[in-house]
């Protein structure tokens, strides 16, 4: 396997405001396949990610993400327990860039919270703030982080807003109508 030219650091760690340790670690497609497969096939996740597929297809998807030239897949862990899947990417190099006025080095984020016990507690907003802070700290030339959750996913849109993202407008993307969200680098 070759290493993609754009790669974020292998691990990020931070303490959340309640003292919980949150870390990101790179996805290992073989080792993490079944976990991510279970999450993608959860009806609440599948409704918006549209990746309720057999485990081998999820593994192939994860392998493509690992080899991507502009995206890095991670598992998010709370106190060592894997509980979320992240894709952190260069939005200006992504197909998304043709749908909005992309700026050089725009960072992007996709997130899913795994099992339902991590949803509906405000955790998504806290994690989005921590991860977007980290993205802006490691991508020195990035001025902002963008996201495009499905407009029907009102819980996700609210989490982005509580994390400091603002809804700029809605976008008609090939696979969904998305709320285009932006979090600017703090002044």
In terms of Cα–Cα distance, which of 88, 92, 83, 50 is closest to 66? Answer: 88
Q: Any idea which residue has 């993307």 for tokens?
A: 173
Bridge-based pairing of strands 144-147 and 166-173 is unpaired
Q: Taking every pair of C-alpha atoms in the chain, what is the biggest distance, in angstroms?
A: 45
Residue 185 in contact with residue 168, Cβ under 8 Å?
no
Active site residue 148: yes
**Residue tagged active-site, from 59, 139, 148, 161:** 148
Which residues have CB under 8 Å from 114's CB, separation 6+?
35, 38, 39, 42, 82, 83, 84, 85
Would you name the residues annotated as active-site residues? Answer: 148
């Amino acid at each position: 396997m070759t290493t993609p030219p754009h790669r974020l650091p292998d691990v990020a760690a931070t303490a959340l405001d309640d003292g919980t340790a949150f870390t990101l670690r790179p996805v290992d497609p073989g080792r993490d396949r079944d976990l991510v497969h279970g999450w993608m096939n959860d009806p609440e996740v599948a409704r918006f990610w549209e990746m309720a597929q057999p485990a081998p297809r999820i593994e192939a998807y994860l392998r493509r993400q690992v080899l991507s030239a502009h995206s890095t897949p991670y598992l998010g862990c709370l106190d060592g327990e894997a509980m979320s899947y992240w894709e952190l990417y260069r939005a200006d190099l992504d197909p998304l860039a043709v749908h909005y006025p992309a700026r050089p080095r725009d960072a992007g984020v996709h997130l899913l919270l795994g099992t339902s016990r991590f949803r509906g507690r405000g955790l998504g907003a806290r994690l989005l703030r921590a991860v977007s802070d980290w993205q802006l700290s490691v991508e020195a030339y990035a001025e902002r982080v963008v996201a495009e959750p499905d407009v029907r996913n009102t819980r996700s849109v609210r989490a982005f807003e509580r994390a400091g993202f603002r809804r700029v407008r809605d976008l008609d993307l090939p696979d969904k109508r998305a709320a285009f969200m932006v979090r600017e680098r703090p002044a």
